[in-house]
């Protein structure tokens, strides 16, 4: 039943094959990274015919396990030059798994700048021309596709940024309402899709069925225990469903780790105006929905609906990282404006973390003033118009820093840092520096033990214990991404032993295995080793596993701390 689809964009052929032996037992990030390592030349051009773009649901995809429908997208990244995996919610992950598709591997490159769309249904796979979608944003693309394919399908699409191969371009996935609000955003994977001439994938789940399970009773019992843990934990049972990820604004601000005015302070004076409590209040006042799941089977439901002041749908609830990037980091405290920029980025198909950083660096470079809300919106619109300035912004914070002579540019391996200052949250600083993906909080979310005291208590301001914390979290995260679980399950997994045991039990029940908890941890380590092997062959060394110099020299108020974890310690993160 399980198959892998190979889509060759050079000769426009679609082949279905059995999953090769080498890839068996892998899903999600583990599978995308294994395929990139084995099949992609590490020194190839990321936007050339030799790169491959892979879509893969996780090992628990297509089942009734809560929060298990993520989809991983992998390739060599045009932004970082490293291996890349970014995963997303939305419906397509579950749909693919229920169709028995383990992975879609997109190879080659279309000729003459032509665009195509791929239909994936029950035993039907077809490429067809899509030049009528050229130049359209994700929202208009989805509307047009809906008129052709109906509303019982899921879409993966790119906007203008992907077509133009901007290095911050994302791949959009539709949510339950068929809105392109969920993104595999980081690392420019939309540019890889654009380079291949693939504008859209349509996934029709009709005729699909639940993924086969070897021991249904055991699976059901374990999935109930898992769901119970998600409901019981304060973060996944109360905080996220009520305030979304934006619950973090006031927490990180209080901790002095909320990067403000392009990483020049750790506190923002009016943070509360953009915090989760305020977003919840505005949403309730406008009769919107604060608690909403981005995909079927999500029982945490962190994604609300943001309405404008007339009560009309504007965007999904912007994530904490988006609100920070366009908010405190640009000295902006207007939630409506931030939601408009979130909507614009979803439509253009571009990473909000990268673009918020790019705007902040442009402000520091004198293009606009910090705090200029209308100016920030104008810069985002420059990207939509494809002007030379817009193309520079859409290529990320690193390029903007070079173009405007800015020294304080918060990137690692050319990928912009997310919403936690590494000087005041040092564990996540270790993750930013050493992740195989460039700066990425989701790769090893040490905010848990540093700030939230989930899964331990490691002082965020001191160097001790941070390397070990990041090491363990990076391995655990690679396993969670391979299972296809939403990363937010990590909160109960770190605090409630039975939540982790339930994941192990579900994997065993589904695949008729007898894995132990240690085996699942080892799976995460194996994925990291594969990714590091690719990066080394692409030319990366320990010298790339560092934060920008200013983090070790400029003291961050209010704690007046620098990032002070020695290089020799950073070099031991992957000693396992
Ligand atoms: S918890 Fe949030 S991000 Fe995760 S699946 Fe649910 S709505 Fe999506």
> Using CA atoms, how far apart are residues 457 and 472, in angstroms rounded to an integer?
14
Place of tokens 């055991």: 218
Give the number of the atom of ligand 1 that is nearest the alpha carbon of residue 299: 6
> Which pLDDT value is given to residue 4?
97
Average pLDDT over residues 515-519: 94
Tens digit of pLDDT for each residue in 349-398?
Answer: 999 999 999 999 999 999 999 999 999 999 999 999 999 999 999 999 99
If DSSP codes are grouped into helix, strand and coil, which group holds residue 85?
A: strand
Please work out whether the CB of residue 291 comes within 6 Å of at least one atom of ligand 1.
Answer: no
Number of Cβ atoms within 10 Å of the Cβ of 139 = 17
pLDDT at 2 over 90: no
CB of 345 shorter than 6 A to ligand 1? no
Which residue's CA is the nearest one to ligand 1's atom 4?
Answer: 486
H/E segment holding residue 491: helix 490-495
CA of 305 from ligand 1 middle (Å) equals 13
The rounded Å distance from CA 241 to ligand 1 centre is 9
Does residue 195 line the site of ligand 1, with CB under 6 A? no
What distance in Å separates the CA atoms of residue 533 and residue 385, rounded to the nearest whole number? 39
Distance CA 30, CA 478 (A): 7
pLDDT value, residue 438: 97
For position 123, what pLDDT does the model report?
A: 85
Instruction: Please state whether beta strands 198-203 and 116-121 pair in parallel, antiparallel, or not at all (unpaired).
Output: parallel
Q: What is the pLDDT of residues 276-310, one digit of tens each?
A: 999 999 999 999 999 999 999 999 999 999 999 99
Quote the ligand 1 centre to 352 CA distance (angstroms): 17
Report whether residue 295 contacts ligand 1, using a CB cutoff of 6 Å.
yes
- What is the residue with the minimal CA distance to atom 8 of ligand 1? 294
Q: What is the mean pLDDT of the chain?
A: 97
Indicate the top mutation candidate among 300, 304, 321 to test ligand 1's pocket, ranked by most ligand atoms within 8 A of CB. 300
Question: 302 CB under 6 A from ligand 1?
Answer: yes
113, burial (CB in 10 Å: exposed 0-12, middle 13-18, buried 19+) = exposed
Question: With 80 as the cut, is the pLDDT of residue 1 above it?
Answer: no
Measured from the CB, is residue 293 less than 6 Å from ligand 1?
yes
Cβ of 424 below 6 Å from ligand 1:
no
Q: Which atom from ligand 1 is nearest to the alpha carbon of 292?
A: 7
The conformation of residue 20, written as its DSSP 8-state character, comes to P
What digits encode the pLDDT tens for the residues 155-180? 999 999 999 999 999 999 999 999 99
> Based on C-alpha coordinates, what's the Rg of the chain?
22
**448 Cα–ligand 1 center, Å:** 17
C-alpha 302 – ligand 1 centre gap (Å): 5
* Residue 568 scores a pLDDT above 90: yes
Cα–Cα distance for residue pair 37/26, rounded to 1 Å:
14
Cβ pair 245, 321 in contact under 8 A: yes
Share of the chain above pLDDT 70, in %: 100
Let me know: does 59 contact 42? Beta carbons within 8 Å.
Answer: no
Residue nearest (by alpha carbon) to ligand 1 atom 2: 302
Q: 356 and 350 in contact (C-beta within 8 Å)?
A: no
In sequence order, the β-bridge partners of residue 106 are: 7, 53
Tokens 């939403």 correspond to: 486
Per-residue model confidence as pLDDT tens digits over 222-236: 999 999 999 999 999
Residue to probe by mutation, ligand 1, list 72, 89, 276, 318, most atoms within 8 Å of CB: 89
CA of 484 to the centre of ligand 1 (A): 12
How far apart are the C-alpha atoms of 407 and 67, rounded to whole Å? 41
Element (DSSP H or E) covering residue 128: strand 124-129
């Amino acid at each position: 039943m399980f198959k892998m689809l190979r889509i060759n964009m050079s000769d426009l052929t679609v082949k279905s094959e059995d999953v090769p032996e080498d890839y068996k037992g892998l899903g999600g990030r583990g599978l995308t990274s294994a395929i990139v390592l084995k099949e992609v030349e590490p020194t190839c051009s990321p936007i050339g015919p030799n790169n491959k773009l892979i879509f893969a649901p996780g090992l628990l995809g297509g089942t009734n396990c809560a929060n298990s429908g993520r989809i991983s997208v992998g390739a060599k990244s045009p932004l970082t030059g490293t291996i890349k995996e970014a995963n997303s919610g939305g419906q397509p992950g579950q749909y693919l798994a229920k169709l028995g598709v383990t992975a879609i591997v997109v190879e080659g490159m279309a000729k003459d700048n032509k665009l195509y769309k791929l239909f994936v249904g029950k035993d039907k796979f077809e490429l067809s021309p899509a030049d009528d979608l050229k130049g359209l944003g994700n929202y208009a693309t989805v509307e047009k596709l809906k008129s052709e394919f109906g509303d019982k399908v899921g879409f993966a699409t790119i906007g203008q940024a992907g077509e133009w191969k901007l290095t911050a371009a994302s791949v959009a996935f539709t949510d339950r309402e068929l809105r392109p609000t969920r993104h595999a955003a980081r690392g420019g994977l939309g540019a890889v899709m654009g380079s291949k001439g693939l504008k859209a994938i349509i996934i029709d789940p009709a005729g699909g069925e639940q993924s086969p399970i070897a021991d249904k009773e055991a699976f059901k019992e374990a999935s109930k225990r898992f769901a119970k843990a998600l409901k019981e934990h304060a973060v996944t049972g109360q905080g996220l469903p009520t305030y979304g990820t934006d619950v973090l604004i006031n927490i990180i601000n209080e901790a002095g780790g909320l990067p403000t005015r392009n990483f020049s302070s750790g506190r923002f004076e009016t943070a509360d105006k953009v915090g989760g409590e305020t977003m919840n209040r505005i949403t309730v006042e406008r009769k919107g929905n604060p608690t909403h799941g981005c995909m079927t089977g999500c029982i945490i439901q962190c994604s609300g609906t943001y309405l404008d002041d007339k009560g009309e749908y504007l965007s999904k609830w912007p994530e904490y990282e988006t609100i920070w990037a366009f908010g405190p980091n640009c000295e902006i405290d207007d939630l409506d404006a931030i939601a408009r920029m979130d909507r614009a980025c979803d439509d253009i198909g571009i990473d909000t973390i990268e673009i918020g950083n790019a705007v902040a660096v442009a402000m520091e470079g004198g293009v606009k003033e910090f705090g200029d809300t209308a100016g920030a919106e104008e810069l985002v619109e420059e990207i939509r118009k494809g002007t030379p300035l817009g193309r520079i912004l859409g290529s990320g914070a690193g390029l903007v820093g070079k173009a405007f002579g800015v020294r304080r540019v918060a990137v690692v391996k050319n990928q912009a840092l997310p919403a936690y200052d590494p000087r005041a949250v040092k564990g996540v600083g270790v993750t930013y520096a050493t992740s195989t993906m460039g700066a990425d909080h989701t790769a090893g979310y040490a905010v848990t033990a540093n700030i939230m005291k989930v899964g331990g208590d490691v002082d965020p301001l001191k160097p001790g214990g941070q390397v070990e914390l990041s090491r363990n979290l990076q391995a655990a995260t690679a396993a969670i991404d391979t299972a296809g679980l939403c990363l937010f399950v990590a909160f109960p997994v770190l605090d409630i032993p039975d939540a982790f045991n339930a994941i192990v039990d579900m994997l065993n029940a589904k695949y008729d295995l007898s894995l132990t908890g240690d085996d699942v941890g080892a799976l995460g380590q194996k994925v990291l080793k594969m990714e590091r092997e690719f990066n080394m062959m692409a030319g990366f060394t320990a010298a790339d596993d560092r934060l920008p110099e200013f983090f070790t020299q400029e003291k961050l108020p209010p704690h007046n701390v620098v990032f002070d974890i020695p290089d020799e310690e950073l070099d031991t993160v992957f000693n396992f």
